[in-house]
A and B are shown apart, each in its own frame.
Chain A
Amino acid sequence: MSTPIIEPRSALQIFRNNLLAAPRRLLDAMFRSGKPTTDRTRSTFVFGNVFLHLHSVRTHRWNLRWTTTMGLGIATTAAFLITLVTGVLLMFYYKPYPDAAYDSIKDIHFVVPTGRFIRNIHRWAANVMVVAVILHMARTFYTAAYRRPREFNWLIGMGLFVITLGLSFTGYLLPWDQLAYWAITIGANIAQSPREVTDALNITDWFDPGGFQKLLLLGSDVVGDEALIRFYLLHVMILPLALVALMAVHFWRIRKDGGLVRPVDADARLESSKEETYPVFTEAPKKTYQLAAIVKGKTPVVGRGPENTVPSMPHLFYAELAVLMLTTLICIGLSLLSDAPLKELANPAVPENPAKAPWYFLGLQEMVAFSAFMGGIGIPSIVIIGLGLIPFLDREEQGTGEWFGGAGGWPLVKQAMVVGFGASILIEAFVIRFGWLREWFPHVPQLVITLINPGTVLTLVYALYSVWLVRRYNSTRAGALGLFTVFLCGFIVLTIIGTYFRGPNWEFFWSPADWPKH
């Protein structure tokens, strides 16, 4: 301020002084706790802010280590925020009607300033989100972060995973090109696949969950106007709202569970910090403390002071922002280099051959090639139920918070990787080279193939291996470690085969150069 404040002698001078002081007053009104320079002001900075108070006020140093979480949860959230922002921008121009959708995407690509760039970011961030959520789930599993008291958060996370895949799948249809149309046709037919079982049992006439599911998904018998508007609604409103709601619960749960998972001896293992940890309390507190109120009962932090915690402002926020920016950099970099695909306008008369689902479903599609029901619904259900049961079956305490913690550890995981990759490659190689039951028994009923196909055989092999591990190590965690690892490896192998080695009529080719031309 260049003009000094004069001692006011009149209301006009008061007015002048007030006007000059207005900017500072505005800042003070917005940030009432002032600059976060002391522990107290840092605390109020967090819990006094509607957006930030989902965070805890103090964060344990163990949780800020990169190797604890690799920032994958934040990376997933960052990718979601990027898709959200770019998605809203795209909504200004996209038209969700079959006659207009494809052309509106072309307009976005060619005419809207940086439209091509924004659309690419949206597509890449969506892919990054799916990859990150899978890696995050793996990290959470391997650090046994689903154990008590975090079981329900694991389930919430599974819900978030399914919604993420749903968001990606519903968005896939929107460009209304050949890729989109036929991928969703496959998805809808997978939804209809219970008919494989009801047809074989001859009960479809009065019990047809398959047909119902497909009708529910498409709003019609065919992929058309109704399907597009339905998918659009799911993609821009219903699923994002559900995701945000579950994310709020997910993050809140982390708070209530006492922060991210830590080994019991985390404090001892932390090196002394160069920075700002110092004894906060002179003696250990004897009662619970919550900043909001005094209540009866215990919180998880009873008995421990906030030693080895640092104020979330700025330590946690620097970590989160760093991951956010890194994810943004990766998404933007990929977008400048590689265009989001757009094939010809959807043509119901000309099927793509091969018609492929989005990449994260290609492992499923590989199994669907044998049995639509098992590959599309049966095995995914088994997997989801299995994943959901993990926190309730493994109630051991050894190794919580450690990478590959628990009986068996890293050596077991290594062995499981060999089994996982090996079994899936072996069975795929067998079926590609020799074929399956119909080769030798042309009239075998479909129900037999539904029950006995490479997917179910592989699942059985994996399950037996896991049971063997439980007995060998006398530990449910060992079984869980093995089972998760083999399924992850099987998923990777099937996805790779479905992506790169399947050509027209879903036949095996070593390279796209070998695909037959029409």
Chain B
Amino acid sequence: MTSKEVMVIGGGIAGIQASLDLASRGYKVYLVERSPSIGGRMAQLDKTFPTMDCSMCILAPKMIDCSHHHNVQLLSYSEVEAVKGSTGDFVVTVLRKPRYVDVTKCTGCGICAEHCPVEVPNEFDEQLGTRKAIYMPLPQAVPRAMTIDKNNCIECGLCVKMCQAGAVDLKQEPREEDYNVGAIVVATGFDVFDASQIPTYGYGRYKNVITSLELERLLCASGPTGGHLIRPSEGKIPRKIAFIQCVGSRDRRFGTTYCSSICCKYSVKDAVLIKEHEPNTTVTIFYIDMRAFGRGFQEFVNRAKSEYGVRFVRSSPGEIMEDPATKNLRIWYEDTVAGRIENAEFDLIVLCPALIPSKGARELAKVLGAELDEYGFFKAGDILTSPVDTTVQGIFVCGYALGPKTGDIPDSIMQGSATAARVAEVLERSV
């Protein structure tokens, strides 16, 4: 009994693309996303290299297509718990976590959040901004509904009172649902290396040392500062910014010896964005190899140097020290090209951390019976001939869940489409 239905696990750009391609050809798709909204990492970005398109602008139509498509059923705020069966006939148990809000009634007006007395750091803003206990993670959330974070909710009931649509339901319970599908696509994306593991860089101790994802949120118009780049310590505009590449990457100490593929490119993008906002700010990128490969990127780097005056220093800095009075930072480094030990002061430092497997990937792999590679990413069936198959028949993988083989957004999209082709091949052939 072959099911012509498909489950896609992960609602980032790769999962969204796979879902849309599958839905367009008539397969019913269940798109499972563990956070309250689909969108993934691409929704957190400000602009995408090398064209500098606004990320949300090009992502939003695809997100909306997913929510409207008659063949896509969004299972948001849900997680996969168990998988039985095999190709053509999987039974997947999905845990539907309680939002305590009825998605069919909620209009996303936000009055509940205005009155909620509890304020906590916002995960979507990488903890830089705040949200309420009843919240929408991003303004363009899909589905467009609120969610209550029960861990921080004090159960005051104000939201219930204020909601005009009667959408708040504090009595919701988690429930398990079984779905019978013919194929599964994994698109669980990535997390970011915890830079505090490198104590000499001061991340977590020095306020003005941030990660690139935090920077994206600061630069993004819908972020915690409305797109104004300001120093976390006191809110002044930074005038001397440094990027440090390969934080935790290509590093034998942490087992993340691979290159994350996209950091060189996005750091140059961020540098150009910063220079566009604040032409008087100097930006220096500390790199080992400038991996801006592929069409358009070398030209982009050239432009960054000649038109925007971004400085490139070939060095992997040793230590960062904070001036306790000014909260400025001093980097000690070896300029390998000039052959000297130098130090320089900056008022903001952006670390470009390694991209690591998504939290929970290991557990999911176990549930699916799929193998992971030595870095914890999903192992491809054959790196050359079956790049989007996992080691389990009928289960495919796309996007950064595959690891840094995925270069950047177009690669995630191509892989998403490629898994749709594989699913079609498998489901059609067994008829």
**Are A and B co-members of a single complex?**
no
